[in-house]
């Protein structure tokens, strides 16, 4: 933050207002003769506007005006209404579709991490030797996480808006309504202005199809929602009989049993995605948004044949999407690197990339993508940049790392609660962290606490218990937030360093 305290008329050296308050220098922007900026006050951050007295723009914001020499300085709280008004004035704050560009989404459970994400993206793109860049999503949160953090789609959108404004990010960004399962979820996020809708049909995936015997498989096949799939059991099999898919490097046919197993496993998911897509068309029209399909949170990997089946069936039903997240081989667990044979991942991922190129093109998406440092460059190379990376909880872990450095006692209390809650909270996550391997808070000195964020088991224990921490009646959320605000530059530096490691490999190919 800059120590500037004076604001002058644009184009003039006259010092009109001595605020004696620190200004976020990157936030300074001029639009239509009005200067917009963000500053820090004892009561929290404030949006500032400096305009000609009586300017119409002043009436679109709620704040406290000060008049001097024909100018009005308006200081405004960071409310939802003021965020909406600011997005209306400054076009680069409005979310937009990203298309097929290499992209990354940075979830922010606390609403404080986006400046660090922005600084990382800015650093990486300044250092890359190629002419490629990464399109960013800073507004991203699943309905599940919103529920656990007590936030709404508007809250997530507004927190991202203020951070983008604070850091002067004018390159544009998307807004991801993540892991949507119902039409009601879509409606809430569409009303808030989201532009990237990730549909999660995981509850409609039948992973038992991989091992079902002939009789059980046939029964499940007949029981599929054929009306929603707009075909019949026989017609589906006939549609694939003798059909060859030209994937450029090779042609592929799907045997009848492969089609039946793929249909049993993913037919319900395809029908659900199609229904959600059509709801989006009615809600948002055809333009100004994009779709991602996610089947990553399932028990078994998506084979290349199943990927081909999903893409072909979605196209048959008229669905259009920009990225797809299969369930890849190996294990994508929360907060830790890829678990599995990296060479096997690369070989399998190449096949998925070929399908995505031939059937689209569309991007492959890495979900639960945080901290998968061993595969980012591989994924970028295989897809030639047709890649989307999705991160979320790792930013919360970095907030805890920062907190451990300036408030070790609070970190110890959070760690103790995480240990207490882990076995319950892990139920809805794919994690294998062993509680017995996590050092107890009293065993560690203050200087050793930040390094705990490098330990596999501790990372997962802290990662999946965020809801218990933030909703605890012990006041951890307010203390955590207050500390991060008071030490924001420490927090931002920790995040920037961490996210450079995520983003830089994505520009390698």
Q: Which residues are catalytic?
A: 178, 292
Residues forming beta bridges with residue 375, ordered by sequence position? none
Neighbours of 339 (CB within 10 A): 14
Question: In this structure, what token pair is assigned to residue 389?
Answer: 């990376």
3-class SS at 298?
coil
- In degrees to the nearest 10, what's the CA dihedral of 223, 312, 328, 208? 10
DSSP 194-220: --EEEE--GGG--GGGGT--HHHHHHH
Residues with Cβ within 8 Å of 267's Cβ and at least 6 positions away in sequence, in order, are 224, 225, 229, 313
427 neighbors 141 (Cβ within 8 angstroms): no
Distance of CA 395 to the CA centre of its chain: 11
Radius of gyration of the chain (CA): 25
Residues with Cβ within 8 Å of 350's Cβ and at least 6 positions away in sequence, in order, are 382
Q: Please name the helix (run of DSSP H) or strand (run of DSSP E) that holds residue 261, with its range, or none.
A: helix 256-284
335 neighbors 291 (Cβ within 8 angstroms): no
Beta pairing class for 15-18 and 6-8? antiparallel
3-class SS at 175?
strand
Q: Where are the beta strands (DSSP E) in 20-84?
A: 23-31, 34-41, 44-52, 64-68, 71-76
Beta pairing class for 44-52 and 34-41? antiparallel
Question: In this structure, what token pair is assigned to residue 271?
Answer: 């029908």
Closest CA to 321 of 347, 291, 343: 291
Q: Residue for token digits 């600011």?
A: 86
């Amino acid at each position: 933050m800059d120590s500037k305290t004076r604001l002058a008329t644009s184009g003039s050296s006259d010092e009109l207002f001595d605020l004696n308050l620190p200004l976020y220098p990157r936030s300074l922007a001029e639009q239509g003769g009005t200067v917009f900026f963000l500053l820090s006050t004892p009561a929290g951050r404030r949006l500032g506007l400096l305009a000609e007295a009586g300017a119409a723009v002043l009436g679109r914001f709620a704040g406290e005006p000060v008049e001097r020499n024909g100018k009005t300085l308006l200081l405004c709280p960071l409310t939802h209404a003021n965020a909406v008004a600011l997005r209306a004035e400054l076009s680069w704050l409005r979310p937009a579709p990203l298309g097929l560009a290499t992209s990354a989404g940075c979830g922010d459970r606390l609403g404080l991490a986006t400046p660090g994400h922005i600084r990382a993206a800015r650093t990486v793109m300044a250092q890359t030797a190629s002419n490629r860049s990464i399109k960013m999503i800073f507004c991203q949160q699943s309905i599940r996480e919103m529920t656990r953090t007590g936030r709404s789609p508007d809250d997530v959108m507004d927190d991202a808006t203020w951070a983008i404004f604070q850091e002067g990010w004018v390159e544009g960004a998307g807004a991801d309504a993540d892991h949507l399962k119902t039409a009601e979820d879509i409606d809430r996020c569409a009303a808030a202005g989201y532009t990237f809708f990730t549909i999660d049909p995981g509850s409609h995936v039948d992973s038992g199809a991989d091992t079902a015997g002939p009789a059980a498989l046939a029964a499940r096949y007949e029981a599929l929602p054929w009306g929603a799939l707009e075909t019949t059991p026989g017609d589906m099999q006939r549609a694939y009989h003798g059909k060859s898919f030209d994937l450029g490097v090779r042609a592929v046919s799907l045997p009848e049993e492969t089609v039946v197993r793929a249909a049993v496993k993913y037919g319900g998911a395809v029908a659900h995605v199609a229904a959600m897509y059509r709801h989006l068309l009615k809600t948002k029209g055809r333009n100004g948004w994009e779709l991602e399909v996610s089947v990553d949170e399932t028990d078994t990997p998506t084979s290349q044949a199943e990927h081909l089946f999903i893409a072909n069936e979605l196209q048959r039903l008229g669905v259009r999407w920009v990225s797809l997240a299969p369930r890849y081989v190996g294990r994508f667990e929360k907060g830790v690197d890829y678990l599995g044979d990296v060479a096997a991942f690369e070989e399998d991922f190449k096949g998925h990339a070929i399908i995505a190129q031939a059937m689209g093109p569309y991007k492959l998406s890495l979900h639960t993508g945080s901290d998968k440092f061993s595969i980012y460059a591989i994924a970028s190379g295989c897809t030639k940049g047709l890649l989307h990376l999705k991160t979320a909880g790792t930013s919360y872990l970095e907030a805890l790392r920062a907190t451990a450095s300036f408030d070790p006692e609070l970190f110890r209390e959070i760690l103790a609660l995480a240990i207490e809650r882990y076995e319950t909270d892990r139920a809805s996550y794919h994690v294998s962290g062993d509680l017995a391997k996590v050092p107890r808070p009293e065993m560690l000195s203050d200087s050793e606490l930040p390094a705990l964020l490098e330990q596999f088991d501790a990372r997962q224990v802290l990662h999946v218990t965020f809801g218990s921490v933030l909703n605890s009646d012990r006041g951890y959320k307010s203390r955590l937030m207050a500390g991060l605000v008071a030490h924001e530059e420490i927090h931002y530096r920790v995040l920037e360093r961490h996210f450079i490691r995520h983003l830089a490999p994505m520009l390698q190919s």
